[in-house]
Structure 1
């Protein structure tokens, strides 16, 4: 839906032209990787800051993510308002000809859609970002600490981050002024210190530069749930760490004296499913003489059928028939995602068949060995039409109503909302701004 339609709807239905949202000068978008609405809705989760902001502001019971429900495509939808078919980030990584994952998507030139940062710069706003995926070499971010790592030693992110941070010297500045000296494991996913340090960096940027648009990605809750599933001590520790980082950012907004002009949005990229068994669907193709024609590429919860010959539609039919003809003991582990369902979700171009695992199951890219393997922990990537894979939403501060609950939202609604709050042009965004969640709405 076009941005100007949002404005017309508000004028016609609420008969006022001076929305409180027009007073917003700063928006902070915080993505908690693997964010689930239970974190702020249920007792037992150590998330005091999230819960207070949700109680005082606006929150959603669930937010439908995209397909595949994985980190990099989801974050690109959060920054563009469009789906993978339009923004060009289909998976976390490129797909190699042999069916294995290739390079991670990381360079901004790979994003094919207009972004919030571009819209902000055209409006004259200042921008900043901390550890947001696919932001390396982004010319629209004034203060950018991108998500990047050494390709030779992926556990060490410091050198690559310093190289690609903009302006030059920004990473050294935040280390000196915000985090203190960082050891390797204090700035990677092996330690909860990662979220803590990212929170300190974001807080520093708020106080020092007061950006009008700040995007922040906190990744540790994802790793904890991959390891432990939806529950467990490690997940609670990670949630507490993300919540503390959010508190750091909130306090920085107060110290900067801009709380009354700032909207804080907390959301995520996907939920999680607890697993016990991994399936190797490429073995089905091998057993039926189809692996030389196509391969399944796994995103964890789903697997997408890639044709070796793009025009070979006959193989798609043969694979679908094969899947439907499997023994019930295997057929009950997954469901077929048809071309119509893929089109609806505007997902990977050229793919007309996928499979999504049922509860407890996931997929891998193996083409040798056993069909089934023990796989305890958690996965995402599933077709997004059930609660556990959905993410959450909290909106607090300038422009938002108080004590409002939304039962259901869609991920693409969030960038449309940010464009509305900052009066920016994001005409291709496919989300909507819901009546009743903005201040002064009488609905």
Structure 2
């Protein structure tokens, strides 16, 4: 049946009824702002991607990035729509499933729309690999973002993450605030998660330099946030999510992007420091909820309510920790880290890379079976009590999980323990706080998924999703497909095209 046009005020009313009907979600509630502004539109064009490039290529679905060479294909006869993708670093399902957590707006979204009891992530369950899976639909081995910091045999640092190869999706406008691995990407309105090696605690110069279009960072401060200090955009400061939400809200109201994405980060910092619980974590969740409210209100103010789907998801959960394991201490004792004071000295042969709940053995010479046998012998000679604290993951299992194909093996810690990169001191040491990076099958590191608004199916409560499912879901809502995604847009989550068009 054809849908008759509805006045903007009726569309807004429908949006409130569907999503914002809770008293605490209405305009004027704490954390909800109101403003209006207009602006110009930028439309991008697509160019072909190379499938043979050995470096990772990024596909940020309709955010116009491509890692791993994944094509984006339009579905015919689908009405225009908008998706707001909110990633909460360290999101746990109980934040929206348990009313004891201070997240009324997020919990209202879960009641009115779809909510997952858990989302199983990728291996390792780290921020950068997970966020790249969120927007490509493939696992780390395919998209190439394997860790939070790159392992380079020459010792180069993570400047790798500044090198995004670009591809634009035809006819779609995009906006992104604080999303990882997007510096230099072909996003219409982009304030990327980036930093300066010269001033790592003051991200403002790096954000300004990487912003698209030029001076967007200054525009957002002038029109939306006011002048921001270094602490206002620092990932360990509670103000960072509020300020980033205000920035995205401005971009939504002004430029009305088809896909708007944001990465909210402080809950991760709070849980790393305090573990899974505690007043600081509860306050971080409350701040996330206020940020979500600001973004929801901006959708309404932009007049996009009837055509918008809001998705709140994350990258990983958290495990409380009490002890750290430093396996590189064992390698140094065996002479495998080389000579000298550097982490990898002259003549190094093996090192454990990354941290948190897992660590991956990197060999200087990938085919060095003699060194690999020596490492295996070291692990087998550990006291039985120490051996019980970790599990060895062999290469076939790593390949099956879509993890780093270059790693000779990996270690996964028991819950309550986490790996550190230190190569001196005691191999076991106290470490209180929280960690992630464990195998995705561990329930505590599952993240969440909530969706409400236009274009959704009737699934209601979803027992389990996989992180690879998010990108194809977003694409389907936008009338696109990701043919090479390893996840799927589940029919119970996304309505059929005919239903979406009614």
CA deviations 1:13-37 (Å, max 9, x no partner) are xxxxxx9x94451011110001110
Deviation, 1:333, is: 1.1
Pick aligned residue for 1:195 from 219, 229, 241: 241
Q: Which residue number corresponds to residue 184 of structure 1?
A: 230
Larger RCO, structure (CA 8 Å, separation 6 or more) = 1
Contact map agreement 1:89 1:105 (CA 8 A) in 2? no
Contact map agreement 1:57 1:401 (CA 8 A) in 2? no
Q: Which residue number corresponds to residue 102 of structure 1?
A: 157
> Which stretches in structure 1 are left out of the alignment for 5+ residues?
1-18
Contact map agreement 1:91 1:299 (CA 8 A) in 2? no
Contact map agreement 1:23 1:398 (CA 8 A) in 2? no
Q: Which residue number corresponds to residue 83 of structure 1?
A: 139
Deviation, 1:269, is: 0.8
Pick aligned residue for 2:300 from 241, 245, 254: 254
1:124 paired with 2:179, answer no
3-state SS of paired residue (2:169): helix
CA deviations 1:312-369 (Å, max 9, x no partner) are 1233233234323421210111111121220112111211300011011011111111
Q: Which residue number corresponds to residue 278 of structure 1?
A: 324
Counterparts in 2 of 1:158 and 1:280: CA distance versus 1, 3 Å? same
Counterpart CA distance in 1 for 2:379 and 2:80 is: 52
Counterpart CA distance in 1 for 2:410 and 2:200 is: 30
Q: Which residue number corresponds to residue 380 of structure 2?
A: 324
Bigger Rg, structure 1 or 2: 2
Q: Which residue number corresponds to residue 453 of structure 2?
A: 397
TM-score by length of 1: 0.89
Counterpart CA distance in 1 for 2:360 and 2:430 is: 21
Counterpart CA distance in 2 for 1:276 and 1:90 is: 26
Counterpart CA distance in 1 for 2:163 and 2:455 is: 30
Q: Which residue number corresponds to residue 411 of structure 2?
A: 355
Contact map agreement 2:235 2:265 (CA 8 A) in 1? yes
Q: Which residue number corresponds to residue 182 of structure 2?
A: 135
Contact map agreement 1:30 1:267 (CA 8 A) in 2? yes
> Which stretches in structure 2 are left out of the alignment for 5+ residues?
1-74, 338-347
3-state SS of paired residue (2:179): coil
1:234 paired with 2:280, answer yes
Counterparts in 2 of 1:382 and 1:32: CA distance versus 1, 3 Å? same
Counterpart CA distance in 1 for 2:421 and 2:496 is: 52
Counterpart CA distance in 2 for 1:56 and 1:43 is: 15
Moved more, 34-43 or 340-349: 340-349
Contact map agreement 1:165 1:171 (CA 8 A) in 2? yes
CA deviations 1:93-146 (Å, max 9, x no partner) are 1224477x822543242x6xx9xxx4xx4341111100000100102x100011
Contact map agreement 1:24 1:398 (CA 8 A) in 2? no
Contact map agreement 2:395 2:405 (CA 8 A) in 1? no
Question: How many residue pairs are counted as aligned between the two chains?
Answer: 413
3-state SS of paired residue (2:382): coil
Pick aligned residue for 1:167 from 194, 213, 222: 213
Moved more, 344-353 or 370-379: 344-353
Counterpart CA distance in 2 for 1:241 and 1:299 is: 28
Q: Which residue number corresponds to residue 364 of structure 2?
A: 308
CA RMSD for the aligned pairs? 2.0
Moved more, 162-171 or 433-442: 433-442
Q: Which residue number corresponds to residue 214 of structure 1?
A: 260
3-state SS of paired residue (2:461): strand
Counterpart CA distance in 1 for 2:209 and 2:336 is: 45
Counterpart CA distance in 2 for 1:149 and 1:414 is: 27
Q: Which residue number corresponds to residue 73 of structure 1?
A: 129
